[in-house]
Copies of this chain bind each other. A is one copy, B any other.
Amino acid sequence: MDNQQIKDAGLKVTRPREKILGILERSGRRHLSAEDVYKELLTNGDDIGLATVYRVLTQFEGAGLVCRRHFETGQSVFELNSGDHHDHLVCVRCNRVVEFVDSVIEERQSAIAAQHGFHIEDHSLVIYGVCTDCAVKG
């Protein structure tokens, strides 16, 4: 199960790695910052350093287990890699994140890159707005 994913990544199965992966899997929110993960660990009584959280998340990223996103909040957020690419809608009030995929946009992006002689490696589309809940609250 969990452990296998860690092994497959060529990493030793250690308590920090198991715990961190568990938090990412069980968290209600799909997008957590390193700080979020760290605080969750502390809450659970796990004595794991922040540096380790960063190290582990970076290794998981390298192994393709998680994706790192840079929204405009100043800190990176991490999410479990579901395998399928998707973009994000972020609420500027409550930071809620909604994922979406749109094939039309994907196609246009490829076309535009090709048009400018670029070989796409990655792309990031983030729409910032106010979600229904926050709009209602005024």
Contact = CB atoms under 8 A, between A and B. Distances in A.
A91 interface: yes
Interface string A88-120: 010110000010101011001100110011111
Interface stretch (A28-36, A54-62, A121-129): A121-129
Given A123-B126, A124-B125, A91 B112 contact: no
Contacts of A108: 102, 104-105, 108
A39 interface: no
Interface stretch (A2-10, A17-25, A40-48, A130-138): A130-138
Contact of A91 (B70, B118, B131): B118
Nearest to A123: B127
B105 A109 contact: yes
A76 to B, nearest CB: 9
B105 A118 contact: no
Nearest to A115: B100
A72 interface: yes
Given A100-B112, A102-B112, A105-B105, A128 B117 contact: no
5 contacts: A92-B122, A104-B105, A113-B127, A120-B128, A123-B129
Given A105-B108, A119-B129, A124-B124, 7 more contacts: A104-B108, A113-B127, A118-B127, A120-B127, A123-B129, A124-B125, A124-B126
